[in-house]
Structure 1
């Protein structure tokens, strides 16, 4: 058997990759971890590639499979789930990054981890948890902050994954819902700055965040590219809108199918970011994209047809929160929050974390189906389907 010198191979691959990187890309040598680590003997993986592997093997990533994107409580198996969304973001962002000479491993890690903190029932669930957090004197609940918290402090039985600063920063700053069409990275950051930005954003959800890397900027715009047309296709699939409803200018500039919308947005972003230390769309495409986002907001995201059961879901969030909080205070070790969550966490987490935050961490990690089944178990044995 031929013995390979994996360290030499690793260095050779890193040198080859560095030759392809643009001056504005993030080399693997810039990777920074909170806790120093020694490479395993023979480990040929580069730092951001290691982060991708850790995210893929996290329990939170596994739960993407049953977290919905926009259309919750739908039995249609073709509706986009969050696991598909993050894969689409990864593919789109890596395509952009390849043509701009960026670090594709860093892009992949940020992309796959960017929605880890999403609770069940998408942005509606996020809104419900935020309200409950504020009612119990906790900072604002935001899925990007929770994503960093989950990967940094909750995974691996409370040890966290010790990912790189650049990946945590990209997850915190991804914010694909913002009306941003041009981004310049804010490079000078460290872990203290990461903590500071988390605190400021939690205190003020409008506090502006910019990724520290151009790769993070690409992921942020790719997030929008990946969902804007896909949500339209899902809405057409369930009969919420018709293709003809897409605004005429958007059809002319971007097309009227998800495929054409993605292709034209990606092409435009590459063309107008080539050879620059920033990423941006052309003015014409940015305006069309802004109009399309406004269309989606009015006709899809705020459409009462997809919110008809959300008042019931909001009620269940409140009931479940109060029940779990009571179980914590009473020390009911047989309760779901102990049985399914705290059993995996160190005693120090229970002692150092405020009870309302423990409940937030528990609910935020739930899938849609687990949330429903737990509500059935606790409140409506055998009758929840009729309730919903």
Structure 2
């Protein structure tokens, strides 16, 4: 360990974990902190970023003004981080890296959840499309403007790789489509091993996202009366838990009943994940973090039975929550807001706020269309739900203040 580093937190890692001292560094070299590990620094930079703060007013399914109970991207990210830390500790992994990845994974989301992303992807189709995972990479490497020496947050190789491979390898057998330009450019510089899996910590963060998403969407859906407890009794995994809780405790209040269901559902998924992951670790016997990357299958995973049940639960939520007519109505509004703003700003880029009026030495309108479209997509993607509605009114409502 270099003398300039005096990290006070010591932890015994499994041999397949990412160790602090073996980090492959950052895109822009800089001295590391004496009292914080590289992955702690990544986490802290993410927490202090403007993109992270804006997650407070970016919702997942509902829109912020519909009620202050529903989860936002911020509360979801904190819940994912808690689950990821717990799993990482049980498996001897680097908790700081898993936490940084969990906190960063939603930084690229648009306002209005997946409806906003669908709307932005549709209007960006002629210009390379829009994907929130790729946008997270843009936030981390380009869009955050906090440091004098570089754009972005300059995360470690391990954090950047984990975000890029959030959904697994990007190239290889069975994978179609081109690698997004920004990722291809980073790969040329940093050799991100796009054909392999990410670190075990990144795999933990990704699957913790699924656990938190499904369980807490059930909580929000019940609170919003999108379906009732009686309907949930028919759901895969959750239905058995509902029956167990009601058999054990009788007539609980809805609040206690829902919280008990969610708690047990998280526990069941985590226990299955730990059991299956330990089986795979024993089978493949990885002796380094790169052995995890080169394995033929993900090492951190649900059992086949739980994976099938989890997919069935996702289908249940899709039918009973994500396609509920109330959600559809708000999603329709959200797509129109995004589409109308994008089209107006493409046709009249001088309506962009002053700080977005310049790209290098170019003025919007002087730059080529794909570059202009990406700039406008960056602008819209960075909005909160609230700001998007205010900005849409400023652009289209004659009575709104500009």
Question: TM tier, shorter chain?
Answer: 0.7 to 0.9
Q: CA RMSD in A?
A: 3.1
Counterpart mapping for 1:17-166 below 5 A: 17=11, 20-32=12-24, 33-39=26-32, 43-72=34-63, 74-134=65-125, 137-156=126-145, 159-166=151-158
- Alpha-carbon separation, structure 2, partners of 1:123 and 1:369: 16
Over 3 Å counting, the alpha-carbon distance change for 1:75 and 1:143 in structure 2 is same
- Alpha-carbon separation, structure 1, partners of 2:335 and 2:361: 31
Residue in structure 2 matching 1:305, options 314, 320, 326 = 326
1:258 aligns with 2:262: yes
Structure 2 gaps of 5+ residues are 172-177, 186-193, 243-257, 287-298
TM-score, normalising length from structure 2? 0.77
- Alpha-carbon separation, structure 1, partners of 2:238 and 2:55: 32
Asked if structure 2 preserves the Cα contact closer than 8 Å seen for 1:169 and 1:211, the reply is no
TM-score, normalising length from structure 1? 0.80
- Alpha-carbon separation, structure 1, partners of 2:331 and 2:360: 35
Asked if structure 1 preserves the Cα contact closer than 8 Å seen for 2:134 and 2:180, the reply is no
1:339 aligns with 2:325: no
Over 3 Å counting, the alpha-carbon distance change for 1:8 and 1:359 in structure 2 is closer
- Alpha-carbon separation, structure 2, partners of 1:199 and 1:55: 23
Asked if structure 1 preserves the Cα contact closer than 8 Å seen for 2:64 and 2:386, the reply is no
Residue in structure 2 matching 1:361, options 361, 374, 378 = 378
Match of 1:281 in 2: 302
- Alpha-carbon separation, structure 2, partners of 1:59 and 1:341: 16
Q: Deviations over 1:74-124 (max 9, x none)?
A: 521101111000000000011000000000110011110000000001111
Asked if structure 1 preserves the Cα contact closer than 8 Å seen for 2:63 and 2:112, the reply is yes
Over 3 Å counting, the alpha-carbon distance change for 1:284 and 1:364 in structure 2 is same
Match of 2:189 in 1: none
1:227 aligns with 2:213: yes
> Residue 270 of structure 1 aligns to a residue in which SS?
helix
Structure 1 gaps of 5+ residues are 1-5, 176-182, 187-192, 201-207
- Alpha-carbon separation, structure 2, partners of 1:84 and 1:160: 23
Over 3 Å counting, the alpha-carbon distance change for 1:79 and 1:130 in structure 2 is same
Report the alpha carbon displacement of residue 197 of structure 1 after superposing the two structures with TM. 8.9
- Alpha-carbon separation, structure 2, partners of 1:219 and 1:8: 27
Match of 1:245 in 2: 231
- Alpha-carbon separation, structure 1, partners of 2:82 and 2:273: 15
Aligned length: 344
